[in-house]
Structure 1
């Protein structure tokens, strides 16, 4: 396997790439991703991939990392990382794991359940 650099600063080109070029000018990811969304690689990094994508795949091959953690590792804004991860999700290269967020109905059911439990005491 090709060794993946630790940070974008170590990429062989040394050229500065503007964040909007990494996202094709897009500001929203193809899929909804929160800062806390965990990312898991499904495929190994390949030669010819953009360095940021290779780094995401390499970093998440053996451990889940959140979008915010990936942002710190890549030294890129969270919004850019969300778009890149969204592209990887659409390409089937990563899986994301999100925490279920309670809806208003679920929260009300939980409160009613707790109330009934307290009443039964």
Structure 2
């Protein structure tokens, strides 16, 4: 069993996956404080929250340097979408990110849109 050596991967094992349970990342919370969809757009504002950011919040904030979706951030963090939403809602509450509802044309019940999301997620994992 090899545990990754880099700072970003301290809590990730190549064979076992993430070594910290998702509910630990969200401090036991199960609902984000701000409503977001998988296709909601997120971007960093350039403002840093006061105080120390935990590693998951820092990673999420770094991923928001350009406009991206909640689904993309969840995939890159290798976290369940609801946990990513909780992290992002914390960042939004601190003024570090802005969120925007998905374009009404991006109907998440459209099979083509869902297939595109699934394909993108598989490419990241």
Both proteins in one fold, TM over 0.5: yes
User: Radius of gyration: which is bigger?
Assistant: 1
State the aligned residue count.
Answer: 93
**How high is the TM-score relative to the length of structure 1?**
0.65
TM-score scaled to structure 2, two decimals? 0.63
**Alpha-carbon distance in structure 1 between the residues aligned to 2:85 and 2:11:** 23
Q: What displacement does 1:42 show?
A: 1.4
SS at match of 2:79: coil
SS of aligned partner of 2:37: coil
Report the CA distance shift for 1:98/1:80 in structure 2 as closer, same or farther (over 3 A): same
Contact map agreement 1:45 1:54 (CA 8 A) in 2: no
- Stretches of structure 1 that go unaligned for 5 or more consecutive residues are 1-8, 102-121
Q: Give the Cα–Cα distance (whole angstroms) in 2 for the partners of residues 20 and 30 of structure 1.
A: 15
Q: Do structure 1's residue 11 and structure 2's residue 8 form an aligned pair?
A: yes
CA contact (8 A) 2:37 2:102 kept: no
Q: Which has the higher contact order (CA 8 A, sep 6+)?
A: 1
